[in-house]
Amino acid sequence: MSNGVLPDYVKMAKPNPIQNRAPWYKNTAPTYAGIFLWFVFWSQAPTGGEAAGAPGGVLGHGIGAAILGLIIAALLCHFLFYLVPGLLGMKTGLPLYVIGTSTYGAQGGFLMPGFLMGVLQFGWLGVNSFFASKAIASFFGPSEVTWKIIAVIWAAVAAFVGLKGIQYVAKVATFLPLIPLAILAIMLGKTIGGIGDFNAEALVTAGTVEGGATSGLSFLGVIFLSITFVVGFFATAGAAGVDFGMNSKDAKDVQMGGLVGIALATIVAAGAAILIAAGNFGATGNYAMNPASADFMGGLMGSVGTGKVMALLLAVAAFPPACFSSFIAANSFKTTLPKVNPFISVGIGAGISILLAITGLAGKAGDVFTVIGASFGPVCGAMMVDYLMAGKKWAGPRSGFNPAGWISWVVGFIVGMLPLVSSVKIPAAPLAAFAVGAVLYYILAKAGLESKVLEMTPAPAPAPAESAPQEAPGGEKSE
């Protein structure tokens, strides 16, 4: 394929027609909300994803600072990481791997963000397998062998279902998120009386004894930790907003789907977990920062057995997300590696997931979120600038490997990874990676380092947005 010729996967792409789309409360909002109700997300909220980090986690400077940091992070996810991808999907009706050809080129877009999205999904499968197997294994006692066997089976079955039978999981996935929501509500009811007695200084002191660290975070430290944790967790789902947006009818659906399914769901799920940890400490004085652990829940309910049952229910509710991760990865590999048997590509990916789980690497949530944020922070930043520079529309596929996109991604990725691979401390690294990707793309585009836009025939018909007609990639207007 020469640089001036569109590849088949772009030429054959057909926009999702308006009649196939649905209101935000039927697709975008409930699907995103289900992501944030995953116990692996909200159980890490009190510590900010740092199990052995600063004592007191995000609560080290008080409940107000913790909730403020959470609100800021939730709004950043909606406005910076999701909104532009969602609008691009809505206006064109095209999926992410096609939309990405504007920012990374018709050849480059095949790998970024398409292939990268698939690869990172196996990281999420590893995370899911680690925490779900730990929850299930609590029934059988603290055996290393037991939870590792469960992790292997969990990842293998989820990968198989994601490859062959996701439609069956989707039928129950709508209802399973109600389980963690109900458990959060029960625990909040049990601990709300202790919130008034919560003391941040006492929590930090208790955490210092527990973890050996010397001090809690500053006010800004809490804000930055919240942003790092939430944005890092959300980054891939933000870019996937393109695929959500192509199922939205108009800009209002895109906005409302994000405000409710992303911002509000983040605040409700993670906020409840933070209040539960604070209330529990205020009532008991016990330093316990993981509200989803069987011990924590058993202590609240006054029964070890009840805590184990609740942990099992949370694990069951986590199975559909594991299958969806596998499904997204399988679709990505089928598109980018069409000549490779998907059982082989997905099987290799599942093997990596299993390795991440049983070695415990997937259990380091803060590190995982850093990698995710570093990988997709610059993607979302560059996509936003590309969209704005094109006049708030999709510019169309560019030839070859678009230098502006790739250079901005490489530098942004390095910046986002520095806190993990070096002693350099960058506050809110996923947000910094986003900013570097955005600013650098703008500078490089103005310097003439964008490759030429290729004509797409026929041009995809955009969906109606607001009240004005939208421009298609070819420049003509559609009423």
How wide is the angle at C-alpha 177 spanned by C-alphas 174 and 178, nearest 5°? 100
Residue 18 is classified by DSSP as G
Provide the CATH number for the domain around residue 327.
1.10.4160.10
Instruction: Output the average pLDDT for the chain.
Output: 89
- Assigned domain for 15 exists: no
- Assigned domain for 106 exists: yes
Q: What is the pLDDT of residue 470?
A: 42
Q: What is the pLDDT of residue 371?
A: 93
Measured distance CA(115)–CA(349) in Å, rounded: 12
- Assigned domain for 325 exists: yes
Measured distance CA(393)–CA(376) in Å, rounded: 21
pLDDT, mean of residues 381-393: 98
Nearest to 319 by CA among 170, 142, 120: 170
**Domains of the chain: total:** 1
- Assigned domain for 55 exists: yes
Q: What is the pLDDT of residue 414?
A: 97
Q: What is the pLDDT of residues 1-49, one digit of tens each?
A: 446 678 887 888 889 999 999 999 988 998 899 889 999 999 999 999 8
Q: What is the pLDDT of residue 435?
A: 98
Side chain identity, residue 294: A
Nearest to 396 by CA among 105, 2, 78: 105
Nearest to 156 by CA among 358, 350, 331: 350
Q: Is the preceding omega at residue 113 within 30 degrees of 0, hence cis? A: yes
pLDDT band at 177 (very low <50, low <70, confident <90, very high): confident
pLDDT band at 330 (very low <50, low <70, confident <90, very high): confident
- Assigned domain for 458 exists: no
Alpha carbon distances (Å) from 5 to 104, 402, 436: 15, 14, 31
- Assigned domain for 464 exists: no
Alpha carbon distances (Å) from 233 to 60, 230, 406: 21, 5, 23
- Assigned domain for 197 exists: yes
Contacts of 366 (CB under 8 A, 6+ apart): 44, 48, 49, 50, 51, 53, 228, 229
Whether 469 has a pLDDT exceeding 50, the answer reads no
Higher per-residue pLDDT: 6 or 188: 188
By CB neighbour count within 10 A (0-12 exposed, 13-18 middle, 19+ buried), where does 476 fall?
A: exposed
Q: What is the pLDDT of residue 467?
A: 40
pLDDT, mean of residues 224-249: 94
Higher per-residue pLDDT: 142 or 353: 353
Whether 459 has a pLDDT exceeding 70, the answer reads no
Q: What is the pLDDT of residue 153?
A: 96
pLDDT band at 90 (very low <50, low <70, confident <90, very high): very high
pLDDT band at 479 (very low <50, low <70, confident <90, very high): very low
- Assigned domain for 43 exists: yes
Which of 164-168, 263-267, 412-416 is the least confident region?
A: 164-168
pLDDT, mean of residues 85-101: 94
pLDDT band at 216 (very low <50, low <70, confident <90, very high): confident
Q: What is the pLDDT of residue 167?
A: 58
Measured distance CA(433)–CA(373) in Å, rounded: 7
Domain range for 287 is 30-449
Q: What is the pLDDT of residue 272?
A: 98
Element (H, E) at 464: none
Q: What is the pLDDT of residue 471?
A: 43
